[in-house]
Amino acid sequence: MSTETLTYADVVAGVQASLAAYTQAMDSGRFDDVLATFSSDAVFEIPNFGVVAEGHDAIREYYATTTGGAPLRHVVVNTLVSDQKEGEVEVSSDLLVLQKGDAGWGLIMVGKYQDILRSVSGAWLFQRRTLSFAI
């Protein structure tokens, strides 16, 4: 189905599926599945920490060096899909990161994702994913 025939609701559902696939894969440590949510020339960045990873190899390397330890849960909320044009959309979401410790689950970070997703063979893939933390 081409993006010209998709309704806004179709686009939102597809984007939300991509966000959920990313988050579920991250929290399960399935980094090949995380990478499958990015286009091959994607950029992932965290400006607060000077992180810029361009392309699958760099994104894989970033995740390999920054994950592990106590279980985490990334909770993505308040997602707004906007500026749909020619197979791309801009997406803004709030992020809560929970970590499991001896006393149970606790909030450890609050942030915001600013994303550009591109429709590729019927799936919405991250072209650019920018994560900013409220520090």
Give the model confidence (pLDDT) of 66-115 as tens digits. Answer: 766 678 999 999 999 998 888 999 999 999 999 999 999 999 999 999 99
Position 123, amino acid: A
Rounded Cα gap, residues 19 and 88, in angstroms: 15
- Residues contacting 94, CB < 8 A, separation 6+: 76, 77, 78, 110, 111, 112, 113
The CATH fold of domain 3-133 = Nuclear Transport Factor 2; Chain: A, (3.10.450)
Q: Average pLDDT, stretch 109-129?
A: 96
Over pLDDT 90: what percentage of the chain?
A: 76
Q: With the CA atoms of 121, 126, 128 and 131 taken in that order, what torsion angle do they form, in degrees rounded to the nearest 10?
A: 170
pTM for the whole structure: 0.90
The pLDDT value given to residue 1: 45
